[in-house]
Structure 1
Protein backbone atom coordinates (compact mmCIF):
# COMPACT_ATOMS: atom_id res chain seq x y z
CA UNK A 1 0.00 0.00 0.00
CA UNK A 2 1.34 3.42 -0.94
CA UNK A 3 2.42 5.77 1.83
CA UNK A 4 3.06 2.91 4.30
CA UNK A 5 6.32 2.77 6.20
CA UNK A 6 7.46 0.57 9.06
CA UNK A 7 10.04 1.95 11.44
CA UNK A 8 11.37 1.57 14.95
CA UNK A 9 9.57 3.81 17.41
CA UNK A 10 11.50 6.17 19.68
CA UNK A 11 10.75 8.31 22.71
CA UNK A 12 9.35 11.12 20.52
CA UNK A 13 6.47 8.73 19.67
CA UNK A 14 5.36 8.32 23.29
CA UNK A 15 2.12 10.33 23.02
CA UNK A 16 1.17 8.63 19.75
CA UNK A 17 1.74 5.07 21.00
CA UNK A 18 0.02 5.76 24.33
CA UNK A 19 -3.10 7.02 22.53
CA UNK A 20 -3.03 4.14 20.04
CA UNK A 21 -2.86 1.65 22.92
CA UNK A 22 -5.78 3.34 24.72
CA UNK A 23 -7.90 3.07 21.58
CA UNK A 24 -7.31 -0.69 21.30
CA UNK A 25 -7.38 -2.14 24.81
CA UNK A 26 -9.55 -1.88 27.92
CA UNK A 27 -8.03 0.31 30.65
CA UNK A 28 -7.19 -2.78 32.75
CA UNK A 29 -5.07 -4.23 29.92
CA UNK A 30 -3.60 -1.15 28.23
CA UNK A 31 -0.02 -0.13 28.86
CA UNK A 32 0.21 3.39 30.24
CA UNK A 33 2.55 6.23 29.36
CA UNK A 34 5.03 5.20 32.10
CA UNK A 35 5.26 1.65 30.66
CA UNK A 36 5.85 2.99 27.15
CA UNK A 37 8.48 5.40 28.42
CA UNK A 38 10.33 2.49 30.04
CA UNK A 39 10.13 0.43 26.83
CA UNK A 40 11.10 3.25 24.47
CA UNK A 41 14.06 4.33 26.60
CA UNK A 42 15.40 0.84 27.35
CA UNK A 43 14.64 -1.31 24.30
CA UNK A 44 13.35 0.78 21.37
CA UNK A 45 14.71 -1.87 18.98
CA UNK A 46 11.77 -4.03 20.14
CA UNK A 47 9.13 -1.44 19.17
CA UNK A 48 7.81 -1.28 15.60
CA UNK A 49 5.44 1.35 14.26
CA UNK A 50 3.53 1.22 10.98
CA UNK A 51 2.56 4.59 9.56
CA UNK A 52 0.32 5.40 6.65
CA UNK A 53 0.83 8.84 5.16
CA UNK A 54 2.63 9.92 8.34
CA UNK A 55 -0.08 8.70 10.72
CA UNK A 56 0.60 5.89 13.22
CA UNK A 57 -1.81 3.09 12.37
CA UNK A 58 -0.38 -0.04 13.98
CA UNK A 59 2.33 -1.03 16.45
CA UNK A 60 4.00 -4.07 17.95
CA UNK A 61 6.16 -3.83 21.03
CA UNK A 62 7.96 -6.12 23.40
CA UNK A 63 11.42 -6.99 24.71
CA UNK A 64 14.14 -9.54 24.16
CA UNK A 65 15.11 -11.94 26.91
CA UNK A 66 16.64 -15.32 27.61
CA UNK A 67 13.51 -16.34 29.53
CA UNK A 68 11.49 -18.96 27.67
CA UNK A 69 8.02 -17.85 28.79
CA UNK A 70 6.31 -14.47 28.95
CA UNK A 71 5.46 -13.39 32.50
CA UNK A 72 3.61 -10.39 33.88
CA UNK A 73 6.76 -8.95 35.51
CA UNK A 74 8.16 -8.25 32.04
CA UNK A 75 5.50 -5.62 31.34
CA UNK A 76 6.75 -3.17 33.94
CA UNK A 77 10.45 -3.78 34.46
CA UNK A 78 13.78 -4.25 32.73
CA UNK A 79 15.33 -6.95 34.92
CA UNK A 80 14.69 -9.74 32.40
CA UNK A 81 15.69 -7.72 29.33
CA UNK A 82 18.68 -9.05 27.40
CA UNK A 83 19.75 -7.16 24.27
CA UNK A 84 20.97 -10.39 22.66
CA UNK A 85 18.28 -12.55 24.24
CA UNK A 86 17.14 -15.75 22.58
CA UNK A 87 13.45 -14.83 22.59
CA UNK A 88 11.40 -11.80 21.58
CA UNK A 89 8.46 -11.39 23.95
CA UNK A 90 5.61 -9.40 22.43
CA UNK A 91 3.64 -7.27 24.86
CA UNK A 92 1.21 -5.70 22.44
CA UNK A 93 -0.07 -5.77 18.89
CA UNK A 94 -2.38 -2.83 18.27
CA UNK A 95 -4.05 -1.29 15.23
CA UNK A 96 -6.23 1.81 15.37
CA UNK A 97 -9.85 0.61 15.31
CA UNK A 98 -10.64 2.50 12.09
CA UNK A 99 -7.83 0.62 10.31
CA UNK A 100 -8.50 -2.86 11.67
CA UNK A 101 -9.08 -5.56 9.03
CA UNK A 102 -6.93 -3.64 6.51
CA UNK A 103 -4.00 -6.05 6.92
CA UNK A 104 -1.72 -3.62 8.77
CA UNK A 105 -1.17 -5.86 11.82
CA UNK A 106 -0.32 -8.74 9.46
CA UNK A 107 2.13 -6.60 7.51
CA UNK A 108 3.75 -5.46 10.73
CA UNK A 109 3.90 -9.00 12.16
CA UNK A 110 5.62 -10.23 8.99
CA UNK A 111 8.26 -7.51 9.47
CA UNK A 112 8.76 -8.39 13.13
CA UNK A 113 9.20 -12.07 12.22
CA UNK A 114 11.65 -11.16 9.45
CA UNK A 115 13.69 -8.94 11.79
CA UNK A 116 13.70 -11.63 14.49
CA UNK A 117 14.99 -14.21 11.99
CA UNK A 118 17.77 -11.85 10.89
CA UNK A 119 18.77 -11.43 14.53
CA UNK A 120 19.05 -15.24 14.79
CA UNK A 121 16.77 -15.46 17.81
CA UNK A 122 15.06 -18.73 18.78
CA UNK A 123 11.66 -17.20 18.18
CA UNK A 124 8.80 -15.05 19.39
CA UNK A 125 6.41 -15.53 22.31
CA UNK A 126 3.15 -13.66 22.92
CA UNK A 127 -0.06 -14.00 24.85
CA UNK A 128 -3.48 -13.40 23.36
CA UNK A 129 -7.13 -13.97 23.99
CA UNK A 130 -8.64 -17.19 22.68
CA UNK A 131 -10.39 -15.53 19.73
CA UNK A 132 -7.04 -14.33 18.35
CA UNK A 133 -5.37 -17.75 18.29
CA UNK A 134 -6.38 -18.32 14.61
CA UNK A 135 -4.87 -14.94 13.61
CA UNK A 136 -1.47 -15.71 15.13
CA UNK A 137 -1.58 -19.32 13.93
CA UNK A 138 -1.50 -18.00 10.34
CA UNK A 139 2.07 -16.83 10.99
CA UNK A 140 3.13 -20.18 12.44
CA UNK A 141 2.58 -19.44 16.13
CA UNK A 142 1.48 -22.50 18.12
CA UNK A 143 -0.75 -22.27 21.17
CA UNK A 144 0.81 -23.62 24.35
CA UNK A 145 -2.45 -23.34 26.28
CA UNK A 146 -3.61 -20.99 28.99
CA UNK A 147 -0.86 -18.72 30.28
CA UNK A 148 -0.09 -18.05 33.95
CA UNK A 149 -0.59 -14.36 33.18
CA UNK A 150 -3.11 -12.47 35.27
CA UNK A 151 -2.60 -9.25 33.28
CA UNK A 152 -5.73 -7.10 33.30
CA UNK A 153 -7.75 -9.91 34.89
CA UNK A 154 -8.21 -11.61 31.50
CA UNK A 155 -7.55 -15.19 30.37
CA UNK A 156 -4.52 -15.34 28.09
CA UNK A 157 -3.10 -18.06 25.86
CA UNK A 158 0.64 -18.25 25.33
CA UNK A 159 1.71 -18.70 21.72
CA UNK A 160 5.19 -19.44 20.40
CA UNK A 161 6.78 -19.12 16.99
CA UNK A 162 10.00 -21.14 16.91
CA UNK A 163 12.42 -19.84 14.30
CA UNK A 164 15.48 -21.92 15.15
CA UNK A 165 16.52 -24.48 17.71
CA UNK A 166 17.63 -23.27 21.10
CA UNK A 167 21.19 -22.09 21.14
Structure 2
Protein backbone atom coordinates (compact mmCIF):
# COMPACT_ATOMS: atom_id res chain seq x y z
CA UNK A 1 0.00 0.00 0.00
CA UNK A 2 1.45 3.31 -1.09
CA UNK A 3 1.27 6.21 1.35
CA UNK A 4 0.07 9.44 -0.21
CA UNK A 5 1.66 12.79 0.38
CA UNK A 6 -0.03 14.70 3.18
CA UNK A 7 -1.19 18.14 2.14
CA UNK A 8 -1.63 20.44 5.13
CA UNK A 9 -4.03 23.33 4.60
CA UNK A 10 -3.59 26.56 6.57
CA UNK A 11 -6.84 28.48 5.98
CA UNK A 12 -7.61 32.09 6.81
CA UNK A 13 -8.45 35.51 5.51
CA UNK A 14 -4.87 36.80 6.10
CA UNK A 15 -5.95 40.45 5.95
CA UNK A 16 -3.11 41.32 6.10
CA UNK A 17 -0.55 38.53 6.39
CA UNK A 18 1.50 38.97 9.56
CA UNK A 19 4.80 37.64 10.83
CA UNK A 20 2.75 35.42 13.13
CA UNK A 21 1.11 33.80 10.09
CA UNK A 22 4.53 33.30 8.50
CA UNK A 23 5.79 31.72 11.70
CA UNK A 24 2.97 29.14 11.62
CA UNK A 25 3.52 28.54 7.89
CA UNK A 26 7.26 27.94 8.34
CA UNK A 27 6.61 25.57 11.26
CA UNK A 28 4.04 23.63 9.21
CA UNK A 29 6.44 23.49 6.25
CA UNK A 30 9.02 21.73 8.45
CA UNK A 31 6.48 19.07 9.41
CA UNK A 32 4.49 18.45 6.23
CA UNK A 33 5.75 17.74 2.71
CA UNK A 34 3.28 20.26 1.27
CA UNK A 35 1.46 23.21 2.84
CA UNK A 36 -1.32 25.09 1.08
CA UNK A 37 -2.11 28.52 2.45
CA UNK A 38 -5.80 28.77 1.57
CA UNK A 39 -7.08 32.33 1.57
CA UNK A 40 -10.78 32.94 1.78
CA UNK A 41 -13.17 35.84 1.98
CA UNK A 42 -14.55 36.01 5.51
CA UNK A 43 -18.04 37.47 5.23
CA UNK A 44 -17.97 38.38 8.93
CA UNK A 45 -15.03 40.75 8.44
CA UNK A 46 -14.56 44.05 6.64
CA UNK A 47 -11.43 43.45 4.59
CA UNK A 48 -8.68 46.00 4.11
CA UNK A 49 -7.39 44.19 1.02
CA UNK A 50 -9.09 42.39 -1.85
CA UNK A 51 -8.68 38.65 -2.20
CA UNK A 52 -6.28 39.22 -5.11
CA UNK A 53 -4.15 41.60 -3.05
CA UNK A 54 -4.00 39.15 -0.14
CA UNK A 55 -3.03 36.32 -2.49
CA UNK A 56 -0.26 38.45 -4.00
CA UNK A 57 1.10 39.57 -0.61
CA UNK A 58 1.09 36.02 0.74
CA UNK A 59 2.71 34.56 -2.39
CA UNK A 60 5.52 37.10 -2.12
CA UNK A 61 5.86 36.52 1.64
CA UNK A 62 6.26 32.72 1.33
CA UNK A 63 8.18 32.63 -1.96
CA UNK A 64 11.34 31.35 -0.23
CA UNK A 65 9.57 28.34 1.31
CA UNK A 66 9.65 25.72 -1.44
CA UNK A 67 6.94 23.34 -0.18
CA UNK A 68 4.33 26.07 0.32
CA UNK A 69 1.77 27.18 -2.21
CA UNK A 70 -0.91 29.84 -1.94
CA UNK A 71 -4.46 29.34 -3.14
CA UNK A 72 -7.94 30.68 -2.53
CA UNK A 73 -11.31 29.10 -1.92
CA UNK A 74 -14.88 29.98 -1.12
CA UNK A 75 -17.48 27.96 0.69
CA UNK A 76 -16.83 25.25 3.24
CA UNK A 77 -13.26 24.37 4.11
CA UNK A 78 -14.08 20.65 4.12
CA UNK A 79 -15.25 20.93 0.49
CA UNK A 80 -11.95 22.61 -0.39
CA UNK A 81 -10.08 19.79 1.37
CA UNK A 82 -11.93 17.27 -0.82
CA UNK A 83 -11.07 19.29 -3.92
CA UNK A 84 -7.32 19.15 -3.24
CA UNK A 85 -7.35 15.64 -1.72
CA UNK A 86 -6.40 16.70 1.80
CA UNK A 87 -7.65 15.85 5.27
CA UNK A 88 -5.29 17.97 7.37
CA UNK A 89 -5.96 21.49 8.65
CA UNK A 90 -3.27 23.57 10.35
CA UNK A 91 -4.30 26.29 12.77
CA UNK A 92 -2.30 28.58 15.02
CA UNK A 93 -3.06 28.96 18.71
CA UNK A 94 -1.77 32.21 20.15
CA UNK A 95 -3.41 32.15 23.56
CA UNK A 96 -6.03 30.40 25.61
CA UNK A 97 -8.63 32.79 24.17
CA UNK A 98 -8.10 31.23 20.70
CA UNK A 99 -8.62 27.71 21.98
CA UNK A 100 -12.40 27.69 22.44
CA UNK A 101 -13.13 29.02 18.95
CA UNK A 102 -10.54 26.80 17.27
CA UNK A 103 -11.73 23.74 19.21
CA UNK A 104 -15.32 24.34 18.08
CA UNK A 105 -14.21 24.79 14.47
CA UNK A 106 -12.11 21.61 14.57
CA UNK A 107 -15.03 19.60 15.93
CA UNK A 108 -17.45 21.07 13.39
CA UNK A 109 -15.08 20.32 10.50
CA UNK A 110 -14.75 16.74 11.76
CA UNK A 111 -18.54 16.48 12.02
CA UNK A 112 -18.87 17.70 8.42
CA UNK A 113 -16.11 15.36 7.18
CA UNK A 114 -15.24 12.44 9.45
CA UNK A 115 -11.58 11.99 8.47
CA UNK A 116 -10.54 15.65 8.88
CA UNK A 117 -7.75 16.24 11.37
CA UNK A 118 -6.81 19.65 12.77
CA UNK A 119 -3.24 20.21 13.91
CA UNK A 120 -2.62 23.14 16.24
CA UNK A 121 0.73 24.90 16.20
CA UNK A 122 1.87 27.54 18.65
CA UNK A 123 3.79 30.52 17.30
CA UNK A 124 6.98 31.97 18.66
CA UNK A 125 6.23 33.80 21.91
CA UNK A 126 6.82 37.21 20.32
CA UNK A 127 3.78 36.63 18.06
CA UNK A 128 1.30 35.37 20.66
CA UNK A 129 -0.42 38.78 20.85
CA UNK A 130 -0.37 39.50 17.13
CA UNK A 131 -3.43 39.46 14.87
CA UNK A 132 -4.36 40.92 11.51
CA UNK A 133 -7.12 42.97 13.13
CA UNK A 134 -4.57 44.54 15.51
CA UNK A 135 -2.31 45.42 12.59
CA UNK A 136 -5.26 46.99 10.72
CA UNK A 137 -6.22 49.01 13.79
CA UNK A 138 -2.68 50.23 14.49
CA UNK A 139 -2.24 51.17 10.82
CA UNK A 140 -5.59 53.00 10.67
CA UNK A 141 -4.64 55.02 13.76
CA UNK A 142 -1.22 55.95 12.33
CA UNK A 143 0.82 53.74 14.66
CA UNK A 144 4.04 51.88 13.92
CA UNK A 145 3.29 48.34 12.73
CA UNK A 146 6.47 47.69 10.73
CA UNK A 147 7.74 44.92 13.04
CA UNK A 148 4.49 42.94 12.81
CA UNK A 149 4.31 42.29 9.06
CA UNK A 150 6.71 41.30 6.25
CA UNK A 151 8.29 44.23 4.38
CA UNK A 152 6.17 43.71 1.25
CA UNK A 153 2.99 43.82 3.35
CA UNK A 154 4.19 46.91 5.22
CA UNK A 155 4.61 48.74 1.91
CA UNK A 156 1.14 47.66 0.71
CA UNK A 157 -0.50 48.88 3.92
CA UNK A 158 1.37 52.20 3.75
CA UNK A 159 0.24 52.61 0.11
CA UNK A 160 -3.36 51.72 1.03
CA UNK A 161 -3.35 54.27 3.86
CA UNK A 162 -2.12 57.00 1.48
CA UNK A 163 -5.00 56.25 -0.89
CA UNK A 164 -7.54 56.46 1.94
CA UNK A 165 -6.27 59.76 3.41
TM-score w.r.t. structure 1 length? Answer: 0.31
Which structure has greater helix proportion? 2
Report the structure number with the largest CA radius of gyration.
2
TM-score w.r.t. structure 2 length? Answer: 0.31
Q: Tell me: higher relative CO, structure 1 or 2? Use CA pairs within 8 A at least 6 residues apart.
A: 2
